[in-house]
Copies of this chain bind each other. A is one copy, B any other.
Amino acid sequence: MMTERKLATLLRREGYKVTPQRRAILKIVTETHDHLTPAALYERVQKAQPHIGLVTIYRTIQILEQLGLICEMHAERTSRSYLLKRASEHHHHIVCSGCGTVTDVTHCELEKLQEQLAKETGFEIDGHILEFFGYCRQCQRLKAE
């Protein structure tokens, strides 16, 4: 379980200062299960830190992503969105096109395929993104009406 506290410790360990603004961001990130756009994160963090700047959100997101603590989602077209990595290992997502709910796909069987492709194509493959789209149970019901 990733807590605000743990994330703060990780940041400090990497030489980053732990400021009230960052703490507020970490809090929201650990509490929220949906993926958040920078703007949405900003909005929520403002409740705890009304004077925080949007730039700080962007900068903190960048750090968290570099440390592999959050992952970028590729579902939304106009802006990126981010999500706390709950499973620390490599994994993927199913995103609901209706409500935005995100479910982790913990087993990833793509390493074999990746190796095979590397052989076939000569590429040195060092990563991939995989995301599924669809409708969650709830949104399926809503659609049916």
**What residues of chain A have their CB less than 8 Å away from a CB belonging to chain B?**
74, 77, 80, 94, 96, 103, 105, 109-110, 113-114, 117-118, 121-137, 140
Contacts and interface: CB of A to CB of B under 8 A. Distances in A.
A137 B109 contact: no
Contacts of A124: 134-135, 140
A49 to B, nearest CB: 27
Contacts of A113: 109
A130 B128 CA distance: 7
B126 A134 contact: yes
A12 to B, nearest CB: 28
A55 B137 CA distance: 39
A24 to B, nearest CB: 25
